[in-house]
Structure 1
Amino acid sequence: MLDASPDQISSNSLLNDTIIKGASDATLLRIAEHFPGLLGHRGYHGRFPVHIACAYGASSDFIYKCVSLYPLTAAAQDNDGRTPFHFLCKSLAKSCDTSMSWDKNSIERRMTRILWILYRKAPSAIIIEDNHGVDVVEYALEADMSMTFIRLLQDMVARVHEHNAKKKANRKLIQARSPLLQQKDSFCMACD
């Protein structure tokens, strides 16, 4: 899961430590309501509470609260270059896998809800590779997620790449037109 012991993390962020120790959803939401600034605080290894929440199976309601109050955290990279997407695909599946109270389908439904929350706030973050060149799809494959979940990730990644390609093509088109428009303007000025 994470690269630090709870003792190391607790000295950096009380909220992160609370998430790791498995506080209830009601407790986390109460903390977020009374101390919203904690949601925007980087803890150990450059991780925001949303990173930890994705790694340790916090509810979609809490993760929604985190990224609603601090939208940039949905795309924030920790010191290893991992976003909340990476933690969701790597850690949540593994941590829930060891819990007997969770079945695979409920894990995937929860992960899918969280995935959509993150994607709506920071779609381009889904294509970010960590410092080791690993993307979220590779993490999900390693965590042995279902093909349905993998396909959803791949579709989201494809949408972002398609959107980026369209933006790039539009920029090139504008750049190509710019000299023509300048020539037209100078021609029209000469006619006056």
Structure 2
Amino acid sequence: MRYLLALLICCSAALSAQSDTTRAINRLEVGAHFGIMEHTVDFTPNANEENFRGNTYGLTLRYFDHHLVGIQAELSYVEAGWREDFEEDFTSLYERATNYAEVLILTQFSVGRGAFQPMLQAGPYLAFPLGDTEMTPEGFVLPDTDIISRYEYDIPFRLNYGAQAGLGFNLQLGRLTIQAEGRYLLGFNDIIRNGDTTTVISRRVGYGGRGAVLFAL
């Protein structure tokens, strides 16, 4: 999936480089977005996980200087994390929630000249952890050992980066644009540094839906 995201980004960049052959326009839009994503973390060693559902909301800026290709920037507050089932006599799941301030830059390719325009976009993100909370199952006791696990462990501040891709549409109604899409997120670095705990790999994964309302200036 990482290679697919890289391919989407490269294709978007190539389309942008060829944009001088498309009809020139100048349209700057600002607005707000909201989304819901199902988050997990790709762990090695493997963990028995369930999805963590979190909201994403923030501000969107979209600029097109040609009809087909443009750039979209987003500043978001993101609720992410993971949940684990310890498969023992616990009545609840282990849960770790992390909030991020996220900056995302997307290259957007849209099709059509009417009000309804299918679109594909992809690009890199950079997320700044703002804080996290941990909920352990009732009755869970961390084993008394010198081995450091990720449970009851204070994760040090670490920037998270990766890529996102979206497939959806823009509905353009005069100066107003309504945007809806499905999103996929793939982290490229570990949220827990390798060597700090028994966790070797810990990379964010997420999928969900997102909508935005934008107004042309």
> Which range, TM-score by smaller chain?
under 0.3
Larger Rg: 1
Q: Using CA pairs under 8 Å that are at least 6 residues apart, name the structure with larger relative contact order, 1 or 2.
A: 2
Scaled by the length of structure 2, the TM-score of the pair is 0.19
Query: Structure 1 or 2: larger strand share?
Result: 2
